[in-house]
DNA sequence: GCAGGAACATTGAATTTTCAACCGTTGAAG
DNA sequence: CTTCAACGGTTGAAAATTCAATGTTCCTGC
């Protein structure tokens, strides 16, 4: 039986804490890599999702980019101002707004991808590809079971 | 030989993304549990760290509670206003400020701990104690190697 | 065809976080 | 001693996020 934490055990053994800590660390690393292009991590996620050329509704995009709805609206405002993406109201359902990646946005993504893959490679080296793959698998099932 | 992500692979296979997603999900669950007491997750972490009765410097506390320095200062301001913690300037090094948990804070932690442990138990059930233990181990070593 | 409820996105105000600059304290070099 | 760089923490302004409320559009039942 794996030791379940008790009242006086430190918070550092809680899964919620470990996830927050690991995320914070990895996110910071990615942040410093992306700083070369001056792009925040959230915008990187948005751009990468849109990079296939298909438009996404705000709802879908919020979910994919791990952002709350109002936060996404305002982030997209900024990105539109930077001409990285643009809005088109969905002709099939006029409540929806589809977001597309501009050419400028696509060009930026092409420069961003190697930076993100560089991090992946770096982690695989320092941490072990085996452990990394295992960790990814466990995270995926955790996410699946939590939805 | 674990498949390393390439330029066109979706962002959902990046470790940074999976960590952000898992953290977001688990954090939300914890948030709704703690809502019973009206305590934000960040304050829960702070209180839990201080619960042993020892004082911590702002620096140490920021690291333990996964908060940036100025953010912690302002969060502590709020918690002092709620009489959950108090500040005492360190007599050994007057640059430092030690934060202590008040009795009110300690009483609150006693109500918070079961909520957090409830989540741990819930995850262990729905996800498997074995997988959870393995995930924790992998996260710990990832954090260690990233420091 | 129309009334009412649900879905989608945005807005403005309030809260929170971040960035850069700052001040007091310490420790070490000269 | 005195000076000066580094440390620890706070502050105010700016930026980002969140909350609650709003405006459209769509869909269902009648």
Is B142's pLDDT higher than 90? yes
pLDDT given at position A12:
97
pLDDT one-digit tens code per residue, A60-89: 999 999 999 999 999 999 999 999 999 999
Closest CA to B46 of B7, B77, B90: B77
- Name A137's Cβ contacts closer than 8 Å, sequence gap at least 6: none
Give the rounded distance of the alpha carbon of A88 from its chain centre. 23
Nearest to A11 among B13, B20, B49 (CB): B49
Is A7's pLDDT higher than 90? no
Q: How many residues in total does chain A contain?
A: 147
DSSP state string for A51-109: TTS--EEHHHHHHHTT--HHHHHHHHHHHHHTTSEEEEE-SS-TT-EEEEE-HHHHHHH
pLDDT given at position B1:
52
Q: What phi-psi label fits residue B97: left (phi over 0), alpha (psi between -120 and 50 degrees) or beta?
A: beta
Number of helices followed by number of strands (H, E) in chain A: 6, 3
Question: A103-127 and A129-146 are packed helices; what angle lies between their axes, rounded to 10 degrees?
Answer: 120
pLDDT given at position B3:
63
pLDDT given at position B18:
98
pLDDT one-digit tens code per residue, A137-147: 999 999 999 87
Best of A5, A6, A10, A17 to disrupt the B interface (most B CBs within 10 Å) is A17
In Å, what is the separation between the CA of B87 and the C1' of D4? 30
Sign for the CA dihedral angle at B42, A138, A47, A44 comes to positive
Q: Which residues pair with B88 in a beta bridge?
A: B98
Closest CA to B138 of A137, A66, A119: A137
pLDDT given at position A58:
98
Is A1's pLDDT higher than 70? no
Nearest nt to the B99 alpha carbon by C1': D9
B143 and chain A in contact, CB less than 8 A: yes
In Å, what is the separation between the CA of A101 and the C1' of C6? 30
Q: Which residues of B touch A49 (CB under 8 A)?
A: 11
pLDDT one-digit tens code per residue, B1-44: 556 777 789 999 999 999 999 999 999 999 999 999 999 999 99
B123 and chain A in contact, CB less than 8 A: yes
| pTM for this entry | 0.94
pLDDT one-digit tens code per residue, B49-96: 999 999 999 999 999 999 999 999 999 999 999 999 999 999 999 999
pLDDT one-digit tens code per residue, A118-129: 999 999 999 999
Is the CB of residue B72 inside 7 Å of nucleic acid strand D? yes
Q: Which residues of A touch B130 (CB under 8 A)?
A: 2
């Amino acid at each position: 039986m794996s030791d379940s934490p008790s009242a006086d055990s430190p918070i550092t053994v809680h899964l919620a804490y470990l996830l927050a800590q690991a995320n914070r660390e990895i996110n910071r690393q990615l942040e410093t890599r992306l700083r070369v292009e001056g792009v925040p991590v959230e915008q990187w996620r948005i751009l990468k999702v849109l990079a296939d050329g298909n438009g996404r509704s705000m709802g879908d995009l919020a979910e994919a980019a791990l952002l709350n709805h109002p936060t996404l609206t305002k982030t997209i405002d900024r990105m539109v101002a930077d001409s990285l993406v643009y809005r088109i109201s969905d002709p099939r359902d006029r409540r929806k707004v589809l977001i597309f990646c501009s050419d400028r946005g696509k060009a930026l993504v092409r420069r961003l991808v190697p930076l993100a893959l560089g991090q992946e490679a770096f982690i695989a080296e320092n941490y072990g590809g085996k452990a990394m793959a295992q960790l990814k698998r466990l995270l995926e099932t955790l996410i699946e079971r939590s939805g």
